[in-house]
Amino acid sequence: MHPLVVLLALVGCAGSSGPAGEREPLRRELTEVVAVRAHVAAIDVEKRLVTLADESGGEAVFYADEAVKNLPQVRVGDELVGELTEALVLELRQPTDAEREAGTSSIEVSAVAEPGQKPAGHFVRRIQAVLTVESLDPAAGTASLRGPAGNVRVVPVRDPRNFERVKPGDSVVATYFESLRLEVVAPPQP
């Protein structure tokens, strides 16, 4: 399941009525930030395999593809630090013509460390889609949402008051954003 749909299910969507029964756009945003920290327990530069261990001692082996520059700079004991940020913005409103024509749009940008430095990188992705409220089922506490490709997903509605505010045919412009920043640093000196 696409992360956008999962997050949308957690948030639900809502609208409100303004003067003379006009529907005001509603915007909701969820953001989650997770710190990443592990140390290099083992490394096989030739096979590009890096074993990372977390604070609890749990280990996992990762394959560092060619996008990981400067792998020979990594040493056992180095630390991998970073941050993962995910955000979802939901807007119950009419999409612009450009948003409607784009269907699902995705933009990705990445940056890596300069040659000779320890590996580091920053990856950013933005995905936007226009969803349509297909149907509502207050008894089950769910809504059916149709995506740009015609796929329909049944999702839980977080706030029961939304059944009074949303109607079939409403558009939800959903924008999912994720940012992953990682860098390898020398271990702290004792």
What are the tens digits of pLDDT across the range 6-24? 334 434 444 434 443 455 5
**What is the phi/psi pair of residue 99, to 5°?**
-65, -45
Which tens digit of pLDDT belongs to each residue from 146-164?
998 899 999 888 888 888 8
Structure tokens at 134: 């297909």
HSE-CB for 107 with a 13 A CA cutoff = 6
* Residue 129: Cβ-neighbour burial (10 angstroms; 0-12, 13-18, 19+): buried
- Span 49-102, pLDDT tens digits: 999 999 998 999 999 988 888 999 999 999 999 999 999 998 889 999 999 888
3-state secondary structure of 11: helix
For 112-131, the pLDDT digits (tens) are 999 889 999 999 999 999 99
Q: What is the pLDDT of residue 127?
A: 96
CA distances from 116 to 77, 113, 119, 173 (A): 18, 8, 9, 43
